[in-house]
Amino acid sequence: RPPKMDQLSEKEISLSRDAFTLHDTTRKGKIPLAEVPQVIRSVGFNATSSEIQALAKGKQTIDFPELIEIAGQCKKHGDGMKEIVGAFKAMDAGNTGEIDSDTLKYYLKNLSERLSDAEVDKYVRAFDKGGKIRYDELVNALYQ
């Protein structure tokens, strides 16, 4: 297997190949970039069109190895999101999908990459709803 394929399981590669083949209507081994988000989602990964465009490096069509490379990056991206959501869930004792604004401030100021007070306040203001922050909304915004 090429090195990039090591990022995906055999099942993910097989699903990717099937989805790629369905979208390769010309049978030339390439699919339009506009169809890549749908292919990526069908394999179980999430990525925005703008993320995929950045990963495609300006190409308008991609071949299967390029799709696998993009899928691998989307998988890593998804793993990072899951890790952050997991950390927030650990702080969510009531399993409500929310954490206290003050708790978020504390962790962002003390345990993260040392964000400035202004950066912390910006995030908290943007997502604070009555002293609570829906962490799924925050994580989705961070990964846009």
Q: What is the overall mean pLDDT for the chain?
A: 82
In terms of pLDDT, which residue wins out, 144 or 66? Answer: 66
Residue 112: is its pLDDT beyond 90? no
pLDDT at 1: 44
In terms of pLDDT, which residue wins out, 1 or 67? Answer: 67
Closest CA to 77 of 42, 47, 109: 47
pLDDT > 90: what percent of the chain? 26
Q: What is the pTM of this model?
A: 0.54
Q: Long-range contacts made by residues 128-132, C-beta under 8 angstroms, separation at least 24?
A: 128/101, 131/100, 131/101, 131/102, 132/96, 132/98, 132/99, 132/100, 132/101
Across the range 66-89, mean pLDDT stands at 77
Across the range 40-48, mean pLDDT stands at 77
β-pairing verdict for 128-129 and 98-100: unpaired
Those residues whose C-beta lies under 8 Å from the C-beta of residue 75, and which sit 6 or more positions away, are: 7, 8, 12, 45
pLDDT at 142: 64
Q: How far is CA 34 from the centre of its chain?
A: 18
pLDDT at 58: 86
Across the range 102-115, mean pLDDT stands at 74
Q: Which amino acid is at 91?
A: M
Residue 110: is its pLDDT beyond 80? no
pLDDT at 65: 93
Strand ranges (E), 17-129: 31-32, 61-62, 98-100, 128-129
Kindly tell me the burial class for residue 83, based on how many C-beta atoms sit within 10 Å of its own C-beta (0-12, 13-18, 19 or more). exposed
